[in-house]
Structures are given as structure tokens and as C-alpha cells.
Structure 1
Amino acid sequence: MIRKFITLFILTIFIWLIWSFSGRNTPLPYPTTYLSVIEEINPSDSLTRNIVGIQPFMEVTDYFSQQSFQAKISEYIVAADAENLLKKNTLIVFPEYIGTWLLLIKEKHSLAEKSSLNEVISTMIYSNAFDYFLGYLKTGDEENKEVSSIFRMKAKAMLAAYYDTFSQLALETETYIAAGSIVLPEPTVINGEIFVKLNGPLYNASFLFGPDGKVIGSPILKAFPNSKEDPYLTAATPENLPIFDLPFGKTAILLCDDSWHEESYINAINESAEIILVSSFCTGNHSMTSKWNGYDGKKVSEMVELEDVGNITTIEAWEKYSLPSQIKNTKAQVGMNVFFRGDLWDIGSDGQPIVLLHNTMLPVTPAGKAGVWSLNF
């Protein structure tokens, strides 16, 4: 009886291994950019500084390998360069969560056919049972231990693809790249490289890459996670948000919800930042033009007026409470907010860039899916 049980157990493990490893290395389609807009804002022959905001349109298949991810990201930069938008010391900005979906790297390609993120999470758990268990042992007091375990399980692979991609592109183009964000456990920067502590708290983190391919300064950690992030992310301290002293001006970089809170701008005010950038991910198709449901986070900005809930659109709320209004309390004269767009299961996305110069919102041509906008200043 024991022998039969052992035989059955070994057979089960063997079948699981075959299923687990199948479909991870099938050919991937070459990424499609869906790029419909390349626009120069405030064109001038005399202005020497510019910020290039990139709104990519990402698909699940873009994240199964570093090669696919880097090829997709590179296409947008190549398109900008072809229009002579990349100059010496150009600053390129990518949206929030651009690197987070690298959790799919080397996973089963059938995940692209799932209809919901919950199905993806379940499949990843079952197909990586042993690694998932090790990730689970490293979790802390997060409410959502499933997601927390997956991020820890994939942290090193995610980080390697993210770092190598943006480091190489910054080095090749000799530009500065605000590389959107990625979820990592306790990231730190040492000598321009990123390190993680697998049993540390998870953060939504962004990094600024310099023309030498190295990370500049400290990680930019999100201080005000929204309700979807709160079950697995740790809130950083807004007073620790870094200000980068760059050749074209002191620059602050904020992640999405942080731009709604006065506390996030304290260092920008104290250090007289000249440029404020925001990387965002607004979930839900057509959500920006829908009625605003109110601020989605633990701590609501004191500026928010309750009578606006349900009476103004989401984009009107962004303009009233986020960067366009908050920047007026600083000395910054340049601002840009870019949004993540993509087709990722049932998540949805929306948003168009918000561009500010001298406290005035500048008109931009909206993109159906992906776009590149260069602001001269």
C-alpha cells in the first residue's frame, strides 16, 4: 500500500512538472506599439531642454521575456529619436506600473488567454507551487498574502529585466529616464544598482536612470497606496521623497496617488524644484470620462470637496486636485503626468498626458492607445 502511494505521488509530481514547464518558451509575437501620436509641444529653436512623456500601450505578451519587454519599450524611444525629440540631457518619462507586470517573465504563455487577473494569480500559484511556498514564507503582515508571495517569488527576475532594459536604453540614448514603477521588496540603490530584500516590505517603486546607465539617488517609493494596493503594499514616508539635482533643473518625481497629497510636495517646495513629474496608472476603460467616485485611498487629501463626488468627471478631479493645482504651491514651472495604457485581462486603463508650463495646462493631441509627447522649455 505504501509502495503504491509513493508511486502515485511520484507520478503526480512528474505530471505536474510536465504541465508546469510546458508553454513557457513558445515563440512570442513581435511587440506592436499602437503608436498614433508623436507631438512636439511648445516647439522652439531657442529652447534647449525637453521632457519626453511616453504613453505606451502594453499587452500581456510584452511581459513574458526581457527581450519582448525591451523591444516594446525601445520602439517608443526609437520613434521619438526618429523625430529628433531626443537631445543631450533629454528626460524621458514612463508611467506607473510599467515594470510591475514583469511578474509574468518566464511564465506560461497561456496566461495571455485568461480573462481575469484572479485567474492569472491562481495559475501562477499552481504552476510555481514550490517557489510560491518559499515566497509565502517571506511574507510579512500583508493582508493579501497570495499577491505578496508572487511578487517575492518573482522579484529578482523582475528586477533584472527592469534594470537591464532601462539601464541599456539610457546608456544608448545618453538620456535620463524616469522609468515608471515596479513592485519590489525593500529596494535600495547602491553604487547605481538596485538591490532587494526578499523578506522586506513591498513597495511601489520608481527609479531615475542617468546617461551612464546607472540609477541616480534613492528609490522613489509611493507614500499613498490606493485601496487596491493597500492589501499588499507598504506606504513610504512622503518626507523621504527625493529631489534630483539634474543638469536641466531640480526635479521631483511622484507616483500617481501621491500627486493628490500636499505632503508629497514638501521637499519640492523646500528645495525649490523646477520640474515635477508624475507617473500614473488609472484603471478601468473610459474611467477618466466617467463620473468621479471619490478619492480611492486610506488618507483623503484635505483639498477634496465631497460635493464633487459623482458630479464631476475623473479627469476633472485630476485637474482640480492633482498636479495641475498642486504645482501652483511650488516654484516649479514645468510639470508632466503620463498614464499607463494597455490591454491586461479585466483591469482596463485610461488617461492622456497632462502637460504644464508656467502654471498653465497646455493642449495635447490625445492618442487612441499609445503616444509620445515632447515638451520644450
Structure 2
Amino acid sequence: MKKIGFGFLVVILIWVIWANWSFRSELPPVISEISTVSQIICDTCENGDSMSLNRNIVGIQPYMLETDYLSESQFLAKLDTYFKVAQENGFFREKTMVLLPEYLGTWLVIADEKKSVANAGNLTWAMAQLVLNHPFRLSTYYGKSEKESDRIAATLFRMKAEKMANIYKQVFKQLSKEYQVYIAAGSILLPGPEVKNGMLEVDIEAPIYNTSFVFAPNGDLIPQSIRKAFPIDSEHPFVTASPTTDIPTFDLPFGKIGVLVCADSWYPESYQAIQGVEVVLVNSYCAIDGAMDNPWGGYKGAPPPIDVDLNDIGILNERQAWEKYALPGRIGISGAKIGANVFLRGKLWNLGTDGQPFFIREGKLLEIEEAEKGGIWSMEY
């Protein structure tokens, strides 16, 4: 028995050393990876001078690396490189809205974790390390994740929710105040997120939503949350759908705006919920490298709307399907003629990323200069 007890203590000691090893190791320098900075020319303006228009949307496609999420300072520094370049190019003005992509805040789930989590070869091993790092904390939250079929993923997001929400709020508060712009800050997975007294709070007992928020130039977090109504198949095990009737609109000093989270832009009900807006913004994440050139596999996560031609499945490629059935093809349902859609890009374990922005002015899909990695585009309207 003494030998068994000694062996158990050795195992515990090894685990303690492993679990705490490299928490304080130095993080690598932030690399911006910006390959395109572009002002989208207005072909209907006099001499193509879009500067004569007094409002603009700045779409930022950050190229994120796993290490960008290991601390609040790292996350802020990475995004600040994009905001700084946008400012240097004269993109930030009195009436500017910055649009960021879906899932941008989600990978803050690894914030303050070991560097080995970021360096894991695949997401499964990265999440397994979170489990191994926090077995006792994990047990506290596991019992609160009974309704999700992927209890481990749901438990990890609940366990890190308060830290994730705080970093998300603090970083975008600082960026909006420093650069004096509105920010549609991309999305983050949080349980029961609500804005109370200017603070982003979570409810650990509540369902997990894929949620986005808007920040004002004074750093304030606008109270309405934008929760995804149509989670896709890969999200269903731990993300809860929100009713389309809860999709908010924002009456801002330069117009009425609606924001949709990725797949919501594929369904007419989403646009009907925000009818009367002048601008529709969409944040997106498309997994798998080169996905936009692959044959379209049809709707994933919910039945297709009745206006979808099922013969397009396997015939259109993914990008063509986005153009036909997402923002470019459906924006008119809302009454808006101005729109933008940006995608998350980067190297995120084995997930892959793809997509180039869509910009729509006067109901017309515009040609843009594509970005190999990160990109910044400004469209005046």
C-alpha cells in the first residue's frame, strides 16, 4: 500500500509540474501578416472620387495565429497592427464602422494557457491540454453542460467564459476609444451573454450562443447582443440557436444598421427581422483551406429556404453559392443597398480558413483586390 501511495504521489507531482510548465514562457512577437490594403473605388462618383462620400465601412480580415490568443496583450497587439495601418491610410473618419469576422473572439478560450496549447498540432490535442491543465475546475463546470451533446467543448467554454468576455470587452473598448470608430467586433462563444451597466456579463448556467457586439467610439458597449440564429452542423453540439426575431438593429448617427452572424445571412428570415436598415454587415468564418473553390455541399445546420435551387448543390462552387444565397443575393430583402461581409483567416491548428470579403454598394457586388493573408478594405457610401 505504501508503494501504491508513493506511486500516486509521484504521478500527482509529475502532473503538477507538467500542468504549470511554460505558463510564464515568453510569447513570440506579433506578426501582422497584412497583404492587402485597399480603398474600393466608387465607379458612380465623379472621377471615381469615393472620398466625396461621407461614410465608410472598413472591413478588416485579420490573419490570426494561435499564439495571438494566449494573452489579452497579445490579442490587443495583433488587432492594433491592423487598426494602425487603417488609420495611417486615412480610413478612419468621423463616420466609420469597422467590421471584424466571426469567431474572432472565440479562440480566447486559450487565453492565459500554456504556449503548448497554441503549438498543438490539432484542435483536439489543444483542447485536451486544457482539460489536463484544469481537471478540478473542469469538474465544476461539467455538471452545468448536461444539455449539450459535446459536453467537453461546452464545459471548456463555460470554464473560460468570464475571462474571454473580459478580454473581448477590454480590447474592443480600447480600440474603439483610441481610434474613435464604431466597431462591429466579430463573434465570440459565450453562455448567456448580456450587457449590464456597460459590462459584458455571462451566465454560466445559460446556453452558449455565438454572439457579436457593437462598440461605440467612446468605448461603450452597445447593449443589444447579436446571437446567431442558424448554427451550422459543427456548432450544434454546443451552440444554441437564437430566434431570428431577436436579431437587433442599431440606430447610429450615420444610419440604421443590421448585423448578421455568418450562416444567418443565408436565410430570408434574418433579413426580414432587420427590414428598414440602410446597411447590412455580416461576420463570417469559413473552415477548410481552399473551401471557396470546392463544390457547394448545400445548407448545413437547417433546412434550405424554399427559394433555393437544390440543383445548384455540387454544381456551384462555395463562393458562387455565397454570392447567390448569402448577402450579395439576399440583401434586398432587408431594403438595404449597402453591405459588407468579412471572413476570419489565419493558421488555427488544423481547422483551415478561407474567404474574401464581399462589399455591396447601391445593391451591386463590387470587385475588390483580394488578400493572400490579412487585409484591410475601405468602402465609402
Calculate the TM-score normalised by the size of structure 2.
0.96
Which residue among 342, 345, 348 is the counterpart of 2:346? Answer: 342
Q: Aligned equivalents of 1:232 and 1:329: distance in 2? A: 30
Q: Deviations over 1:151-175 (max 9, x none)?
A: 0111111111111100110011111
Q: Aligned equivalents of 2:378 and 2:135: distance in 1? A: 45
What one-letter code is carried by the residue in structure 2 that aligns with 1:210? Answer: A
Aligned ranges for residues 220-259 of structure 1 at < 5 Å?
A: 220-259=226-265
1:47 aligns with 2:46: no
Q: Aligned equivalents of 2:238 and 2:215: distance in 1? A: 26
**Shift in Å, 1:286:** 0.5
Q: Aligned equivalents of 2:55 and 2:234: distance in 1? A: 37
What one-letter code is carried by the residue in structure 2 that aligns with 1:350? Answer: D
**Shift in Å, 1:124:** 1.4
Q: Aligned equivalents of 1:95 and 1:19: distance in 2? A: 35
- Number of residue pairs aligned between Structure 1 and Structure 2: 374
User: For residue 133 of structure 1, what is the aligned residue in structure 2?
Assistant: 139
**Shift in Å, 1:135:** 1.8
Aligned ranges for residues 131-170 of structure 1 at < 5 Å?
A: 131-170=137-176
User: For residue 310 of structure 2, what is the aligned residue in structure 1?
Assistant: 306
Which residue among 271, 284, 291 is the counterpart of 2:288? Answer: 284
What one-letter code is carried by the residue in structure 2 that aligns with 1:119? Answer: W
User: For residue 330 of structure 1, what is the aligned residue in structure 2?
Assistant: 334
Aligned ranges for residues 1-377 of structure 1 at < 5 Å?
A: 1=1, 3-41=2-40, 42=42, 43-269=49-275, 272-377=276-381
**Shift in Å, 1:126:** 1.3
Q: Deviations over 1:271-313 (max 9, x none)?
A: x100000000000101001111111113322232111111111
Q: Aligned equivalents of 2:176 and 2:24: distance in 1? A: 28
Q: Is the 8 A contact 2:166 2:200 kept in 1?
A: no
Q: Deviations over 1:198-255 (max 9, x none)?
A: 1210000000001121111311000000000001000001101000000110000000
Paired residue secondary structure (2:87): helix
Paired residue secondary structure (2:377): strand
Paired residue secondary structure (2:116): helix
Say which is worse superposed, 145-154 or 125-134, in terms of deviation. Answer: 125-134
Q: Is the 8 A contact 1:140 1:199 kept in 2?
A: no
What one-letter code is carried by the residue in structure 2 that aligns with 1:34? Answer: E
Aligned-residue identity in percent: 40
What one-letter code is carried by the residue in structure 2 that aligns with 1:207? Answer: F
Say which is worse superposed, 284-293 or 110-119, in terms of deviation. Answer: 110-119
Q: Is the 8 A contact 1:217 1:244 kept in 2?
A: no
Q: Is the 8 A contact 2:259 2:282 kept in 1?
A: yes
Paired residue secondary structure (2:153): helix
Q: Which runs of 5+ in 1 are unaligned?
A: none
Calculate the TM-score normalised by the size of structure 1.
0.97
Paired residue secondary structure (2:94): coil
Q: Is the 8 A contact 1:53 1:92 kept in 2?
A: yes
CA RMSD of aligned residues (A): 1.2
Q: Aligned equivalents of 1:107 and 1:97: distance in 2? A: 19
Q: Aligned equivalents of 1:107 and 1:303: distance in 2? A: 46
